[in-house]
Structure 1
Amino acid sequence: MCAPADHEDGLAMLTTRKHLPPRLPALPAFIGALLCLTLAASTAAQSGNNAVDPTSLIMEAEEFALEGNYDAALPMYEQAIASLVSEPHRQNQLRYRYGIILNALGAQRPDLYPLARGQFEAVLTYIESSPGLPFEHSAARVSSAIAHTYHQQAALQTNPNKRAAMLRHAYQLYTSATEQLRREEDWQNLAITSFNVGQVCEWQGNLEEAIQWLEQAVALDRRHGFADLEEDQAYLTALRELVNPERPVGNTAI
């Protein structure tokens, strides 16, 4: 495991933190898809007294989110999630979506990272308690999403002890997820998670292990033709030059 260290060079702030796929979709496109997911729940809700219509809530939430009014949008997502308690599959689909939104907003509002983690953890519990039940996201992908909240929050954490603890959590979750992603042959998620765990190692000061993870990411990018190849290769080259500043390193194949 990466050992915590005081490594505060500029590279850590220059490298791009990748969002785990599926990346946050365009909100207008998502509205139609989400309406399909909640139509049955909406019909059932309308048949009861004082029932909440999740479809209406989600539509309003998405509209507020498009306007940037997240103070109004987030409570509506939470109401919609609560209203889907009798539809656990749809409820957890929405939880995952909500977690992605919260995670994306965390850079402006770090207080949302724990709430995002809570959504992903609930989804993970649902998946693990229902083995064999089809779900859009594997347990490994959800674990990586949880790790990503720690990863991003660590970048904003000024307390060195808390930052180190967040990076340890991210490392443990990411590395555990990579094993399952490899077994599932989910190569794109494995490449992105390898990039992320490599970056965590760099931030912890363990450049040698960071290089190993980036080599894996680059190899997967090249083998499967992923779009991140050039970016990942540039990051790998920069890490190698930090380790061996006297030795010229080019963007050559591994």
Structure 2
Amino acid sequence: MAMANTTTRPGQALRALLGTALLGLQLLVGSAMAAGSEQSKVSQLITTAEEYALSGNYDEALPLYEMAIANLSEKPHRQNQLRYRYGIILNALGGQRPDLYPLARSQFDVVLRYIESSPGIPFEHSAARVRSALAHTYHQHSAMQENPNRRALMLRNAYQLYSSAIKDLRAEGDWQNLAITAFNIGQVCEWQGNLEEAIEWLEQAVALDRQYGFADLEEDQAYLTALRELVNPQQPVGNTAI
């Protein structure tokens, strides 16, 4: 990965992200359809929103997600499942529409409060994973800031949230999300100009990729190598004195 690249992990195409995550909503939609006419209406909203999103028609998709979320107000668990999903989509679209990053943050903030206020209720995503997703909105958004103070603030917020998530992801044994978060916090450190710490985080990401066979090993290793080269450039080879 080239230095100062504004692509962050996850960097998959949005269509692939939507197609994969759509499978995760099947239980949500199915249970809604079985719960009566009102919930059937919600399931139809979600299904139609997914169809629009998969076709790239986000102007039509996003209001339908919001309507579905509003209609799930009496079903907080399902509502927060959908909020998390919606936040992921908004964050993925932020590269094209930066105005969506704050809306993505608001979704993750609500989900995080729900999880932390209901510790006895199982949820598909841990608080640490949600904090990492929230950090990613600041991380990506920072790359679009022309004001250096605002960029620095967003990077600091991202760093703090990633740092908070790292400890819990490790304790939970969520190795893939730990590797992703280590990569991302390393990139934040690079953008802050702290290359030594960036290297430390990338070393952790590469070690996890290698240990667990994650597909990002080659990319992460290349990024780590490039960071090391910035810190310790190789001396030119030749007989001519410089």
TM-score, structure 1 normalization:
0.85
Q: Does 2:109 align with 1:121?
A: yes
Tell whether the 8 Å contact from 2:32 to 2:40 is kept in structure 1 after alignment: no
Distance of 1:124 and 1:130 partners within structure 2 = 10
Alpha-carbon deviations, 1:11-40, whole Å to 9, x = none?
A: 112x7411299x975545655653431344
Among 169, 178, 181, the alignment partner of 2:166 is 178
Aligned to 1:136, what secondary structure does the other structure show?
coil
The corresponding residue for 2:10 is 19
Distance of 1:166 and 1:188 partners within structure 2 = 24
Distance of 2:138 and 2:101 partners within structure 1 = 8
The corresponding residue for 1:187 is 175
User: What fraction of aligned residue pairs are identical, expressed as a percent?
Assistant: 69
The corresponding residue for 2:240 is none
What is the number of equivalent residue pairs in this alignment?
A: 234
1:174-253 alignment runs, 5 A limit: 174-246=162-234
Tell whether the 8 Å contact from 2:205 to 2:220 is kept in structure 1 after alignment: yes
Q: Does 2:43 align with 1:55?
A: yes
Distance of 1:172 and 1:28 partners within structure 2 = 31
In structure 2, do the counterparts of structure 1 residues 29 and 199 end up closer, same or farther at CA, with 3 Å as the change threshold? closer
| Structure 2: 5+ residue stretches without partners | 237-242
- Code of the aligned partner of 2:10: H
After TM superposition, give the deviation of residue 234 of structure 1 in Å: 0.8
Tell whether the 8 Å contact from 2:18 to 2:89 is kept in structure 1 after alignment: no
- Code of the aligned partner of 1:221: D
TM-score, structure 2 normalization:
0.89
Q: CA RMSD in A?
A: 2.3
Distance of 1:92 and 1:206 partners within structure 2 = 36
Among 38, 59, 77, the alignment partner of 2:65 is 77
- Code of the aligned partner of 1:114: P
In structure 2, do the counterparts of structure 1 residues 24 and 224 end up closer, same or farther at CA, with 3 Å as the change threshold? farther
| Structure 1: 5+ residue stretches without partners | 1-9, 249-254
Tell whether the 8 Å contact from 1:61 to 1:76 is kept in structure 2 after alignment: yes
- Code of the aligned partner of 1:67: S
- Code of the aligned partner of 1:12: A
In structure 2, do the counterparts of structure 1 residues 154 and 197 end up closer, same or farther at CA, with 3 Å as the change threshold? same
Distance of 1:40 and 1:33 partners within structure 2 = 13
Alpha-carbon deviations, 1:68-95, whole Å to 9, x = none?
A: 2211110110000010111111111111
After TM superposition, give the deviation of residue 44 of structure 1 in Å: 4.6
The corresponding residue for 1:161 is 149
The corresponding residue for 2:239 is none
Tell whether the 8 Å contact from 1:113 to 1:153 is kept in structure 2 after alignment: yes
- Code of the aligned partner of 1:226: F
> Greater relative contact order: 1 or 2 (C-alpha under 8 angstroms, separation 6 or more)?
1
Distance of 1:129 and 1:40 partners within structure 2 = 24
Among 53, 59, 65, the alignment partner of 2:53 is 65
After TM superposition, give the deviation of residue 246 of structure 1 in Å: 3.2
Distance of 1:222 and 1:32 partners within structure 2 = 28
Tell whether the 8 Å contact from 2:206 to 2:221 is kept in structure 1 after alignment: yes
The corresponding residue for 1:89 is 77
